[in-house]
Amino acid sequence: MQYDRAMADDEGEAMNAWLTAAQLREAYAKQSLSPVEVVKAQLDRIEKIDSTYNAFLRVDADAALKAAQQAEKDLLAGKPLGPLHGVPVGIKDIIDIAGQTTTCHSKVMQGTVAKADADCITALRQGGAILMGKLALHEFAIGGPSFDLPYPPARNPWNTNHHPGGSSSGSGAALASGLVPLALGTDTGGSVRHPAAACGVVGLKPTYDLVSRRGVFPLSFSLDHVGPMARTVLDTSLLLEALTATSTSPRAYKASPLNEGIKGLRIGVVRHFHLEDEIAEADMAAAFEEACRVFEGLGAQLIDIRLPSLQEFSNPQKVILMAEGWAIHAKSLRERPGDFAEMSRRKLLCGAFLSAGDYVHAMQCREALMDSVDHVLQQVDVLLVANSMDPACVIDDVPEVVRTYTRQARVPFNLTGHPALAVPNGFSKAGLPLSMQIVGRYYDEASIFRVGAAYEQATAWHTMHPAACAD
């Protein structure tokens, strides 16, 4: 497998598709690049190559250019707006932008125009971000890569025959192909961290309720999270800073340079998820152990940890998701079932057969599992956990898509609400990205960013891009 290691031009004279948000901020400060140049270059790139990846459902070029022009004026006048001033961001099409359609990648929602911005969009505007348009997803954030919808599924830039992960599939594909430096996704059962894993980028499921969900079409009220995605840990933290710098967040996260190192930090290593509960593919297991060696080399203290089994987490999570998903979609499923993709219709209908008692029991189990993770995190600073147990599978092999999606260790932390960061940690023998998770205490995103950044600085995975996407 060949990799393109395209990075920022040392002179800062020309736009490069792989510039990070942090690098763009620096270039703007030195006036070696302008927001207008950057947005024009990104729009040109989207037009040139996105027909291969289907990352965008709609590109809002006029609004993006107008916002870039204003950002440029403000920068020249010495009026920066915030951490993302002039930085392009792609938005999963389950999140409302006033005056634009929110399709949720579904025929059911065609023509549904948002009356107001979602809270997270308001936060991005206040932070100076440039909204580039709406990104593809799995229908209603549950279906899968479906071919019986009005919109094509996004494809994996590392190999277009393969699944980009989901449900924030367009977000992962857009980042991995260099279409945007930042993207927003949502995560109910792993839908930020799965595409991060499949596409070799970074994705955070924050602490539950840290980022407002108002204006985001729900799948499961108590499991949904809005999450930042980027190609580096620092960029992901900058996006989280913007998302939490509003009155809608219970506390603000302030991004730092992330250069403290991790000497003396206690990392709890959870191996039984991928060695016993769901046996991981060999490349993934090897990459996980190599990451452990990197952390030891950086001075961290590694401690073996056991949690309840993946099945113990999965059972109540499925009940909660299906019950809440059915409550949201029951009317549409009864009135227009044929407008849903087969895969999402089949999943959502399961909720019709659950009782109130099933739901209450699942919630009771949930509380006990939350306590179990909290107890462990009193003994260590963060947890190191597997992500997907397999590299991305072939996109049009439905049984394999279904099989591999359940082979993951993401669901526990949707159920418990703890923050979890997906970080690339290698490649399979076939050249497909691999990933791991760093999990922290409630509202301690700072610690998992610190650990993720230390690993990133000690390795080169984040510098590697699909050869097909080279400039």
Q: Which of 34, 106, 146, 167 is catalytic?
A: 167
Measure the CA–CA gap between 469 and 21, rounded to whole angstroms.
Answer: 19
* Active-site residue, from 171, 177, 191, 237: 191
Length of the chain: 471
Q: Quick check: 214 and 248 in contact, CB under 8 A?
A: yes
Omega prior to 344 cis, within 30 of 0: no
- Tokens encoding 103: 């399709």
Contacts of 320 (CB under 8 A, 6+ apart): 220, 222, 223, 359, 362, 363, 366, 415
The Cα 186–Cα 170 span in angstroms is 11
Q: Spot the catalytic one: 34, 92, 318, 428.
A: 92
Instruction: Indicate if 167 belongs to the active site.
Output: yes
How do strand 266-269 and strand 382-386 relate by DSSP bridges? parallel
> What CA–CA distances, in Å, run from 317 to 169, 211, 328, 366, 454?
21, 21, 16, 8, 32
Beta bridge partners of 420: 205, 439
Q: What is the C-alpha to C-alpha distance for residues 362 and 353, in angstroms, rounded to an integer?
A: 15
Question: Is 171 an annotated catalytic residue?
Answer: no
Buried b (16+ CB within 10 A) or exposed e, 172-196: bbbbbbbbbbbbbbbbbbbbbbbbb
DSSP code string of 88-113: EEEEETTB--TTSB--TTSGGGTT-B
Task: Give the pairing of strands 301-304 and 266-269.
Answer: parallel
Q: Is 254 a catalytic residue?
A: no
* Nearest partner of 220 among 334, 140, 315, judged by Cα: 140
- Positions annotated as catalytic residues are 92, 167, 191
